[in-house]
Amino acid sequence: MMDDTTLATVAEALASARRAGRALAGVPDAWLPADLPEAYRLQRAVNAQLGAVRGWKVSALTAEAQRAAEVPGVVAAPLLAPWFVESPATLSLAQWPAWVKLECEFAFELARDLPPRPDRPYERSEVEAAIAALRIGIEVCAARVPAGRSTLLELGDALNNGAYVVGPPRSDWRGVDYAHRSIVLSARDGAGLRELARGSGRAILGGDPVGAVVLMANALAPDPERGLAAGQVVTTGTCTGALPVDLSVLQPLALVADYGDLGRLELTLQP
């Protein structure tokens, strides 16, 4: 287990790396969290230096994914205010040190708190009653820690979150057929739109992204005092895979994520 001094050192290193847009050259074994509660302690120490939590990205929704990530259950990492932006957005690739990947996702904004309740799991109806709106999103994934070193350390580094772009809230989320909702991510150039990736909500629990919010509400909470809070969004994972972006791009890359009648997101990546 990390002592308080080590935890503070690791938190400062991760926060500084994110502010500076650089990767850590190496990670000593002593910096690796021993378990999920310790990873969340580290995560909260990093959050405190970087900004308010605007939402949570949820991962490891299935037993197979949990085994692959070597985590004991559903996990989450923060979407922090300085990197949480509304569409249309322009972001600089210079703020990310290594690889960048793009993911199109469904996110749900909460109207009320869902505090930790380990002795009485939330029913789905309770979680649905707490959801105010659907917000389509694009996550920009980027890491400050070496790939594959430890999922628990990645949780301290916001689980590789680089930025999150959201559309306006929609209150008609209950009527969406997520499994058959086609999502197309394209690049815009002089010739029009060039498709880069395609998917649907079927990628999330067979077409049930709301179920991911239920799982998160009943998982170990990254914030043990508040749990999931009103006004925050809960993202539910990529519907289009993880699309790599060439960081050597020498001109702006204009992207459009088309969710059909749910709307479009626009993101420009500057070199």
The domain that holds 191 is classified in CATH as: 3.90.850.10
The model's pTM: 0.96
Task: Show Cβ contacts of residue 118 under 8 Å, excluding neighbours closer than 6 positions.
Answer: none
Q: How far apart are CA 62 and CA 78, in angstroms?
A: 20
- Tally the domains of the chain: 1
| Residue 251 pLDDT | 80
Q: Are the C-beta atoms of 237 and 204 separated by less than 8 Å?
A: yes
The reported pLDDT for the residue numbered 250 is: 62
Q: How far apart are CA 184 and CA 195, in angstroms?
A: 7
Cα gap 56→78, rounded to integer Å: 5
For residue 118, how many other CB atoms are within 10 A of its CB? 10
Backbone φ and ψ for 24, nearest 5 degrees, come out as: -75, 135
Using only C-alpha atoms, what is the Rg of the chain?
18
pLDDT tens for the 271 residues of the chain, in order? 899 999 999 999 999 999 999 999 889 999 999 999 999 999 999 999 999 999 999 999 999 999 999 999 999 999 999 999 999 999 998 899 877 999 999 999 999 999 999 999 999 999 999 999 999 999 999 989 988 889 999 999 999 999 999 999 999 999 999 999 999 999 998 788 999 999 999 999 999 999 999 999 999 999 999 999 999 999 999 999 999 987 666 688 999 999 999 999 999 999 8
Q: Are strands 233-238 and 131-141 parallel, antiparallel or unpaired?
A: unpaired
User: CA 72, 18, 224: angle at the middle one, nearest 5?
Assistant: 40
Coil, helix or strand for 251? coil
Closest CA to 217 of 107, 121, 109, 152: 121
Give the angle subtended at the CA of 81 by the CAs of 104 and 54, to the nearest 5°. 70
Full residue range of the structural domain in which residue 51 is found: 4-270
